[in-house]
Every structure is written in structure tokens, then in C-alpha cells.
Structure 1
Amino acid sequence: MTSPYAQAGFGVGFDWGPVGAGIVAGDIVAVADVLSFTTAVTVAADCGINVYPYRWRDETAVAYAARWDAKLAVGRSEAGPGDVSLSPVTIRRAEGVSRLVLPSPNGSTIARQLSDGGATVIAVSLRNRRAAADWVREQLQVASRRHQAPRVVAIAAGERWQDGSLRPAVEDLWGAGGFLSALGLDDLSPEARAAVAAYDAVADDLPKLLHECAGGRELTQYGYPEDVAIAAELDESTSVPVLEDGTMFRSI
């Protein structure tokens, strides 16, 4: 019996976090982790940097970076001159970096999980939501000529409370909903329609609301208001980072 949570019968779905990503299966999946993993990936793509997603920054991440001859991102608070972190600001300032291992317990983990399951995974933020939607429509047109109908799903990564439970992050809802809104398809599940409505309701007030939401206030409080400003660069990126072999985001 099909799970009632799978949003079966709809060509476009939406859900939250790694559990939702596992249940609402899609052939093409857009992962939105706006503050800051997928924003950082799009900034890296704009700079010609390939990103290797990784779950944690620990000794295994050091070995993983060495395996791919890549620079390992440090924690935001640890970043010094010349270092790169999850902060998009440091990625823009990076010199001589072509490969970056970017640990993230949310967006990175979900992207690799989905790719391992056979989905085509793209990194979506407010910066590239329209470019990503254009690319997906092209893939759907190609599939249609082959008499195929790939399912498209948007996943809002969310954050974590201290007890490890999912904290729905409204900025990720806006990122996923903004992508679905630009996609412009009709066959949306009720959940996907709700995500589109959430984005459309605030589209005229971005980036102000991104600074005022909990995630934006948190980063600003910790001293990273520029990261929020970069995340709010609506439609300014034409990069579409696609996860290749579950290993590396390369912009197409």
C-alpha cells in the first residue's frame, strides 16, 4: 500500500528534511537550504568552484578532502584570513580554490541521501530559483519527447533544535516554494501548492523578511549579516549546481 505521505498521483511534490525527502520520492529533486548550504553552493558555482557535500566536519572530512584534493571548509567562527567556511562571503573571497568540501548536516546530508537513491539532485536557493526552474523545465521537455514523465520534488532542508528534531525554517520554505513558483507547473500536490503560496505571499517583501525571519536574525546576531544579504540576492545567479554521482555539485 502506498504511504499516504508520499503525495502519490501528483507530478510535483514538496516536503521537509531528510525523512520527508525519503518518503516523497522524486526523479528530479531540488534541495533548498537557504541559510546557508545551497546559497553557498550557488555562490561557489558562480565562482567556478565545484562543491563536494559532506555531513560533518571531523577527521573523516579531512581525509575526504585529501582524497579529492579539495579545500576543506572550516566552521564559520573558525574562519581566518584565507579560510573558506559555510559563509558565502568567504567563498566569494576565496582565491585559488577549484574544489571545496562543504560539510553541512542538513542540506548536504539530504542531497547525498537523495542522490544515493537515484534522483537527480540540484541545489536551489533564492539566488538561482528561476534558473533552476528553467533547467528543470528543459529536462521535462526532453523526457516528454521520450514519452517519460519525471516527478519533480522540492525539499526544504530545515534546521535542527537542540534535541535533534527538525526545526522548519521559513527561509527554506521560501526557497523551495520560489523554485516551484518559477517552475509554473499545474500538477502540484497540496503540499507543493502550499509552498508556492508561502513564497508568493512574501516575494515582494524579500530581502527584508529574510533578514527578519528567525534564521536571518540568528546569523545577524552571530555577526554574519552579509551572509543573509547574499542569500537574498533574488534571481541573481544563473548557475544550476547538479550533484554528480552523489559526490560533487557541478554547475551546468
Structure 2
Amino acid sequence: MTEDDPRAAGRRAAHGQAAYPVRLETGPTGAAAVVAGLGADDVAVVVDVLSFTTTLALAVERGVEVHPFAWRDERAEAYARERDAVLAVGRFEAAAAAPVVEERAAPPVVEERAQRASRDRPTLSPAAMLRGDGLVGVQRLVLPSPNGSTISALLADAGVGVVGACLRNASAVAEALAPALLRGASLAVVAAGERWPDGSLRPAVEDVWGAGSLLTALVGRGVTGLSPEAELAVVAWRTVADDPAAALRSCAGGRELAAVGFGADVEVAAAVDVSAAVPVLRDGAFRDAGTSSGPGPA
């Protein structure tokens, strides 16, 4: 079957959920599928609760411009220098860079080491970003991550508006997007997911919950036309909405972070609707829609 075969076009439309104005998929390949055919008036929302979009929302709240960038790309340092920006590091890199307290450190000791290292340099850690670690004098930040940031960088070339959402700012993002959606714009929500050690996609339930929180807020504002995939995220969110912090602590992603000393990141990410930030990607950088120049996504 060639790409020009009508059956191939039908398959692309089906997997892209083209019959629905509000769509949801997971990972970079899913992101490419659901934004296919969308235009400049349409929007893609990236959800990476643990941790890119949570850290992103906290950064733009502080007035920091955030440049997404592919993970472990050797060009990142040069990219940051060209933009007079600071290159953030991963939370595990920060912990590894700190002086070793003991050879087989327990998780709280690892987290303490990471906190000491991040005082001089920003990291992907939401808890560190909330504290403002390493942000003195920082106006522009290159923030790589293996999932949310990488997907955001890919979507920047897709010709649609790109917004970052998490549990902390889901209602704020819904409030910003609802007017455009009610006027007929389409929305592609991307639950970023995680990676297995072999590099393959591991769907992450926390990102489905984050997407469901956003979609629930949009439905409450009159938005309709959700695909079955998007509807499933709404149902998933309703199952944990009464105690999202407990759910986040219990899921695989939350347990993984807690096990290696970053339980504070899970707690920060679990706070719901505490932020008014709406990170919008323009000219290669996320800025808060309330402070960035030009019209917002609505």
C-alpha cells in the first residue's frame, strides 16, 4: 500500500481522529498523527505531568522564557548560547553532579544532593523550580526533556499553536482555549508518555489524568466533539479527581520518582488549579499568554 493509496489516506484520517474537533493521542508519533491537517487557528496542548509541563508552568509564572529542546541533543549547549539562555539539566544529572555524601545514598540523600546542585543551575525538577533554584538572573531557559519538551519542539514545526498544560494550570488553559474552540477551532491534546529503557513509548497514566483534567474543564465551558480517546481521558480523570495527589503517588511514574528521592516533585505536580499560567509557544519559546506579546491562543 503506497502513501497515495486511498486506503492509506483513510488510515491516516482514522488514526488522526480527523472526524473529531477534539482529539487525544500519546507520544511523538501520536502527536504527529493528531495534528495532521490542523492549521494556524488550531491548537495542540502538550501534557507531561511528571515533569516537563509542570516545570514549564512554574517557570513562566516567574517570567522566564522556556525554549523546548530535544533530549540528549549535543547541540543544546550551543542552542542556549545563541539565545543567551541557561541550559537546564535533568534532575538525575543534578544529583550526580553534587558532592557524594555516601556511596549508596538513600533517596532522601539523593534529593538533598540534587537540591544543592540545582541552587546554581536550573533543573527539570518541579520542586526545584517552585523554590526558584538556580534562577537568579535567568530570563531565558532551554529546558530539554525526553518527552514533553521533545514533543513541543516537534510540534513547533507543525503550524499549529502549542500550549503546555498540567494539573496545576488545567483550568487556566481551558479558560484560554475555550473561546477559540467554541468558534470552531480544533484541539489536539498530546499525553506525552514516558520511555522504556529501550527507548520505546510507555504510556503514562498521569498524563492521561492531566489531559482529562483539561478536557473536563473544557467540557464544563461548553466544548463538544471529543473523540473516544479524549472521552476516555475524561473518564480516567473522574476516577481520581477526588484525590489526585494519592493517585499520583500511587502510579508508576510517581513511585519511580519517590523511590529515587524526588517525592517532592510528585507533590508539586499533584496540586490542581493553583496556577493561572498559560504557556504558549511562539518564536521558539514558551511565554505566559498573559504577558507575551500578540494575541493568545483564544
TM-score by length of 1: 0.93
Partner of 2:272: 234
1:39 aligned to 2:74? Answer: no
1:139 shift after superposition = 2.7
Specify the code of the residue in structure 2 equivalent to 1:102.
Answer: L
Q: Could you tell which deviates more after superposition, 53-62 or 154-163?
A: 53-62
Q: Among residues 12, 16, 21, which one is paired with 2:22 in the alignment?
A: 12
State whether structure 2 residue 288 is matched by structure 1 residue 251: yes
Distance 1:139 1:8 in 2: 18
AA aligned to 2:281 is L
1:52 pairs with one of 67, 82, 85: 67
Q: Which residue of 2 aligns with 1:91?
A: 129
Q: Structure 1: how far apart are the matches of 2:287 and 2:217?
A: 22
Is the CA contact 1:84–1:91 (under 8 Å) kept in the aligned structure 2? yes
Give SS of 2:281's match. Answer: strand
Q: Secondary structure at the match of 1:223?
A: coil
The equivalent of 2:151 in structure 1 is 110
Structure 1 equivalent of residue 175 of structure 2:
134
C-alpha separation in 2, matches of 1:137 and 1:186? 10
Judge conservation of contact 1:52–1:249 (CA < 8 Å) in 2: yes
Checking the alignment, whether the CA contact within 8 Å between 1:83 and 1:90 is kept in structure 2 is no
Residue 222 (structure 1) shift: 1.0
Alignment counterpart, residue 21 of structure 1, candidates 21, 24, 31: 31
TM-score normalised by length of structure 2: 0.79
1:157-188 Cα shifts (integer Å, max 9, x gaps): 00011111110100000111111111112211
Q: Deviations over 1:59-117 (max 9, x none)?
A: 41110110111111122133213221100222232322111110112111111212201
Give structure 2 stretches of 5+ with no counterpart.
Answer: 1-8, 95-116, 290-298
Contact residue 90 and residue 145 of structure 2 kept, 8 A = no
Structure 1 residue 58 displacement after superposition = 4.7
Letter in 1 for 2:194: E
Distance 2:239 2:248 in 1: 13
Q: Could you say which structure has the larger radius of gyration?
A: 2
Distance across 1 between alignment mates of 2:128 and 2:85: 16
Q: How many residues align?
A: 245
Identical-pair percentage: 50
**Which 10-residue stretch deviates more, 70-79 or 229-238?**
70-79
Classify the secondary structure of the residue corresponding to 1:102: strand
What does residue range 51-200 of structure 1 map to in structure 2 within 5 Å? 51-79=66-94, 80=117, 81-92=119-130, 93=132, 94-141=135-182, 144=183, 149-184=184-219, 185-200=223-238
| Helix, strand or coil at the partner of 2:128 | helix
Farther-moved stretch of structure 1 (50-59 vs 39-48): 50-59
* Structural RMSD (CA): 1.3
